[in-house]
């Protein structure tokens, strides 16, 4: 049975926030450090002989896990890197429009805003209320914002601020039907909800392997549709690019993006161990219990706060949820109160004039921790 002791977490904290950065098991962290020692043992041999085949092995493992060819994937540091790489690469010009939702992650929105200023395109927001409408209504809403200037649709698979599962397969289909590019921010998706790239069929899809799939921090991937791979320009140009390149995998897309100078890529090489942890501990089975616990939390928390649920039907796979809370404190005051007085780690979020608490239940979390948070909320809001 998976236990908090299998992780390096501070046992004195009620840690109900796997969602922000992910939590790495001891076994994976040990493997990560083992790779760091291998690098230091013979750095030249490591970089010239070992690194590339090992990166390929990691890409193969992820490709098999999410049903896409490993050569369509590049391993990158994180979702923020991915969105910058995609936006910078695309030929978005003045008068072009990009559709995003009001559920998107702040760092990604900043990237859109930065590049909008650089390139002159326009970002248009589609406001979608909570609880989310059904799929066809949601798709019609996005569709109503598409114009002849729309060149790209950017949506989260699982949103960060509002913990909602979006119908990305249908969103990508809509984008294709209107000849626009689909970019999906799946930062929270891999290891969390079933992820099948062939089925979703996006143009670009990225996810953080460090969030819900147990990899060390700074492990993510970007999938790019084959036809668009030649458009992907490296954010940093180095030995993977040019006729004198030192990295040769047979793909410019992979070469030019996977080596950007000397750095520690041990986290990428720890993917096998993260998947081993996931499989040997039958995490997918445990996730049903996480989902049940989250549902229980929503019902009980709403009884305390008197607020309505922000979900019409809670998705089967989600292990993360938000509840609305009364505006008795500011987000920061409540966050500090929960942490300083009760030792509870949860994000408190401002979203569309609502105040939300987000709970993440990863496999190491217990019923007792959820009850403890409910008890604290009862004291605070009674
Ligand atoms: C939906 C979403 N997108 C992007 C990110 C950015 O991830 P990173 O900080 O690893 O780049 C996050 C991080 O929490 C996220 O939740």
pLDDT digits (tens, 9 = 90+) for 312-321: 999 999 999 9
pLDDT value at residue 333: 98
Instruction: Report whether residue 219 contacts ligand 1, using a CB cutoff of 6 Å.
Output: no
Pocket residue to mutate for ligand 1, from 107, 161, 319, most atoms within 8 A of Cβ: 107
Please name the CATH architecture into which domain 29-277 falls: 3-Layer(aba) Sandwich (3.40)
pLDDT confidence tier of residue 260, bands split at 50, 70 and 90: confident
How many angstroms is it from 80 CA to the middle of ligand 1?
Answer: 6
pLDDT value at residue 167: 98
Pocket residue to mutate for ligand 1, from 208, 213, 358, most atoms within 8 A of Cβ: 208
Distance, CA of 369 to CA of 14 (rounded, Å): 6
Domain residue extents for the chain? 4-23+282-381, 29-277
pLDDT confidence tier of residue 118, bands split at 50, 70 and 90: very high
Q: What is the mean pLDDT of the chain?
A: 97
Instruction: Report whether residue 185 contacts ligand 1, using a CB cutoff of 6 Å.
Output: yes
Instruction: Report whether residue 298 contacts ligand 1, using a CB cutoff of 6 Å.
Output: no
Q: Report which protein residue has its CA nearest ligand 1's atom 12.
A: 187
Q: Which of 147-161, 165-179, 247-261 has the lowest mean pLDDT?
A: 247-261
Q: Before 31, cis peptide (omega within 30)?
A: no
pLDDT value at residue 317: 96
Instruction: Report whether residue 121 contacts ligand 1, using a CB cutoff of 6 Å.
Output: no
Instruction: Report whether residue 187 contacts ligand 1, using a CB cutoff of 6 Å.
Output: yes
Q: What's phi and psi for 214, nearest 5 deg?
A: 70, 10
Q: Report whether CATH 3.90.1150.10 matches the domain 4-23+282-381.
A: yes
Tokens of 23: 């939590």
Is 80 exceeded by the pLDDT of residue 247? Answer: no
Instruction: Report whether residue 32 contacts ligand 1, using a CB cutoff of 6 Å.
Output: no
Q: What is the pTM of this model?
A: 0.98
Instruction: Report whether residue 362 contacts ligand 1, using a CB cutoff of 6 Å.
Output: no
Distance, CA of 248 to CA of 129 (rounded, Å): 48
Tokens of 124: 């248009």
Three-class DSSP labels, the chain: CCCHHHECCCCCCEECCHHHHCCCEHHHHHHHHHHHHHHHHCHHHHHHHHHHHHHHHHHHHHHHHHCCCHHHEEEECCHHHHHHHHHHHCCCCCCCEEEEECCCCHHHHHHHHHHHHHHCCEEEEECCCCCCCCHHHHHHHHHHHCCCCEEEEEEECECCCCCCECCHHHHHHHHHHCCCEEEEECCCCCCCCCCCHHHHCCCEEEEEHHHHCCCCCCCEEEEECHHHHHHCCCCCCCCCCCCCCCCCCCCHHHHHHHCCCCCCCHHHHCHHHHHHHHHHCCHHHHHHHHHHHHHHHHHHHHHHHCCCCCCCCCCCCCCEEEEECCCCCCHHHHHHHHHHHHCEECCEEEECCEEEEEEECCCCCCHHHHHHHHHHHHHHHC
Is 90 exceeded by the pLDDT of residue 376? Answer: yes
Task: Find out whether 28 and 269 touch, Cβ atoms under 8 Å.
Answer: no
């Amino acid at each position: 049975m998976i236990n908090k002791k299998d992780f390096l977490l501070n046992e004195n904290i009620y840690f109900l926030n796997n969602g922000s950065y992910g939590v790495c098991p001891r076994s994976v962290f040990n493997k990560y450090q083992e790779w760091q020692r291998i690098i230091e043992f013979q750095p030249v041999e490591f970089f010239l002989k070992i690194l590339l085949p090992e990166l390929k092995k990691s890409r193969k493992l992820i490709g098999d896990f999410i049903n896409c060819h490993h050569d369509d994937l590049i391993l990158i540091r994180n979702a923020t890197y991915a969105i910058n790489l995609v936006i910078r690469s695309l030929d978005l010009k003045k008068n072009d429009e990009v559709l995003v939702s009001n559920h998107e992650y702040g760092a990604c929105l900043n990237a859109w805003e930065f590049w909008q200023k650089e390139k002159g395109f326009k970002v248009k927001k589609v406001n979608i209320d909570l609880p989310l409408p059904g799929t066809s209504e949601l798709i019609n809403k996005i569709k109503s914002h598409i114009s002849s200037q729309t060149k790209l649709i950017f949506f989260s698979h699982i949103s960060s601020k509002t913990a909602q599962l979006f119908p990305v397969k249908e969103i990508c289909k809509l984008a294709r039907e209107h000849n626009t590019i689909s970019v999906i921010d799946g930062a929270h998706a891999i290891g969390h909800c079933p992820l099948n790239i062939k089925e979703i069929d996006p143009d670009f899809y990225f996810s953080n392997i460090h969030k819900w799939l147990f990899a060390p921090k700074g492990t993510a991937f970007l999938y790019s549709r084959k036809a668009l791979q030649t458009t992907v320009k490296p954010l940093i140009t180095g030995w993977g690019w040019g006729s004198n390149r030192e990295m040769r995998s047979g793909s410019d897309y992979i070469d030019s993006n996977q080596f950007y100078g000397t750095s520690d890529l041990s986290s990428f090489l720890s993917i096998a161990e993260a998947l081993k942890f996931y499989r040997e501990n039958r995490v997918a089975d445990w996730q049903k219990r996480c989902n049940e616990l989250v549902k229980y939390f929503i019902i009980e928390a709403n009884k305390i706060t008197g607020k309505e649920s922000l979900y019409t039907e809670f998705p089967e796979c989600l292990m993360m949820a938000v509840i609305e809370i009364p505006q008795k404190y500011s987000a920061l005051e409540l966050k500090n109160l929960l942490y300083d007085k009760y030792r509870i780690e949860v994000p408190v979020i401002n979203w569309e004039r609502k105040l939300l608490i987000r709970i993440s239940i990863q496999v190491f979390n217990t019923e007792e921790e959820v009850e403890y948070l409910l008890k604290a909320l009862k004291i605070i809001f009674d």
